[in-house]
Amino acid sequence: MNFKAPVLTVDGPSGSGKGTVGLLLAQRLGWHFLDSGALYRAVGTTAVSQKIDLSNRAALVQLAEHIDIRFIPKAGDDLMAVMLNGEDVGDSLRTEESGRQASIVAAIPEVRQALLQKQHSFRQSPGLVADGRDMGTTVFPDAILKIYLTASAEVRADRRYKQLKDKGFDVNLRRLLDEIRERDVRDAERKASPLKPADDAHILDTSQLDISGVVEQVYRLLQERQRRR
């Protein structure tokens, strides 16, 4: 049988709300969840901790091929635990530094290629919610529904600021805004899978919307799609 579990893709830039929206939808649907950014973050931070230079493509590909990462749903504010090589890594992959390292390794086509198969392996019954930058364009082009979330850089910086402050990180709003803009440019201008909405994606600007409103809207769209199939 050639059954492929349905996939809902939620793409968008950092701070657009895609992580929280994706997780809440996965929980509501009882589907699996893939935080693809965590894969790139894991490759970047593991490389740095092993003193591998972020320009050493061969070593980074090796790391990407062997990374063992799982997302375990849990109660509480975080909604999920990230298990890297069997260990709960807590918030260590969520720092701005880890995001910066991820964005550098994510620009290497061989690393993206090495992570492709790993991402496909998350597609399991009854379904998958996949969050990232190129879920709808490259990784799951046959997704049942593709969502692209966006918000102004200022709103996204403000959200990240609050998130990081709540977690006890020492952060500076101005610097966060500069970093977000810098990362947007790197993610949008890279040759391999640049950040852009799929042609058939629903684009939702979340600047003026709260998370529960976005979740509700996407949930309804998905129900509509499933009815039409």
The contact set with ligand DC (CB under 6 A) reads 14, 36-37, 40-41, 99, 102-103, 106, 132-134, 183, 187
State in angstroms the smallest separation of the CB of 183 from ligand DC: 5
C-alpha to C-alpha distance for 107 and 115, rounded to whole angstroms = 12
Smaller CB separation from ligand DC, 2 or 49: 49
State in angstroms the smallest separation of the CB of 213 from ligand DC: 21
By Cβ distance, which residue is nearest to ligand DC?
A: 37
State in angstroms the smallest separation of the CB of 9 from ligand DC: 10
State in angstroms the smallest separation of the CB of 224 from ligand DC: 26
Smaller CB separation from ligand DC, 108 or 229: 108
Smaller CB separation from ligand DC, 184 or 216: 184
Q: Hey, what amino acid is at 45?
A: T
Smaller CB separation from ligand DC, 97 or 224: 97
